[in-house]
Amino acid sequence: MSPLNVDPTPFGDPTHRAAERLRCASRVTVVTGAGVSAASGVPTFRGEDGLWCNFRVEELATAEAFARDPRLVWEWYEWRRNTIAACAPNRAHEVVAQWSHRYPKFTLITQNVDGLHERADTANVVRFHGSIWELSCWERCAASPTRWRDETVPFPALPPRCLDCGGLARPGVVWFGEAIDADVLERSFATLDCDVCLVVGTSGVVYPAAGLADEARRRGAFAIEINPEPTEATQRFDLAIPGKAEVVLDELERMLAAK
Ligand code: OAD
């Protein structure tokens, strides 16, 4: 440090280094998790506000839990839908949306089911874990579409019903133990041939999403993580920026705009 306590080599700063990479990139893939929506007021799954009525996400987001007690599982989703309906996209969503319209090749792969990236007008979104605003028939009845949109908050009665057969409806999200849609996987993996893969606000413990950056890196991408806490994946990145998504992405965008 200089006597003025100013770092004389700003390019050693991880945010500056990330900005340099992003400046030269034309193919950018961003992977997001719940931390991106934290500043909007959407509770994350793990960490301090991760519990709902003393249940962990792994105890509610499974087909077994739904089969056992569909009402309980729907009460949790109803609570999340109510919370999300009152939330607005934050600066992190805005910056990602701007980039999605600026880079020649840009894809956002989001694990978030809240729809806030879409509400911020992000182009080219792959919803890795589905959408909380979609439902599907639990019985997979032949009459109903695979998924249908329903933004009713709150539902007049729980659990909601299939539009066609009247049986139980389930949230249109991917639960633990369920496979990611083949088309979603294919679209996601096709975008991992990129210059920069930026992973923002995810604990990196849920696979296959947690392996996307590893694969991008294997294919030659420069992989960057943004998270205020170290994660299980931090060591596997080329660069880790310790900080909040809404702050770091704003800084990056200002650096990119400055040149
Ligand atoms: P988690 O709740 O596991 O992790 C959230 C991460 O966000 C943590 O690593 C926090 O440190 C970080 N974080 C908190 N505030 C942040 C901020 N302001 N900026 C940036 N990061 C912040 O959420 P996910 O990793 O998204 O699946 O969870 C993965 C999947 O597990 C979810 O998609 C969900 C759940 O089962 C489905 O809903 C299908």
Looking at residue 116, its pLDDT comes to: 98
Query: How far is it, in rounded angstroms, from Cα 114 to Cα 127?
Result: 10
Q: What percent of the chain has pLDDT over 90?
A: 86
Using an 8 Å Cβ cutoff, are 224 and 239 in contact? yes
Looking at residue 144, its pLDDT comes to: 64
Looking at residue 81, its pLDDT comes to: 98
Q: How much is the pTM?
A: 0.94
37 in contact with ligand 1, CB cutoff 6 A: no
Which residues, given as ranges, of the chain have pLDDT below 50?
1-9
Give the ligand 1 atom nearest the CA of 45: 2
Give the ligand 1 atom nearest the CA of 113: 38
Looking at residue 105, its pLDDT comes to: 98
Nearest CA to ligand 1 atom 7: 35
Using an 8 Å Cβ cutoff, are 146 and 131 in contact? no
Q: Name residue 136's beta-bridge partners.
A: 170
199 in contact with ligand 1, CB cutoff 6 A: no
Looking at residue 90, its pLDDT comes to: 99
202 in contact with ligand 1, CB cutoff 6 A: yes
How close is the Cα of 93 to the center of ligand 1, in Å? 15
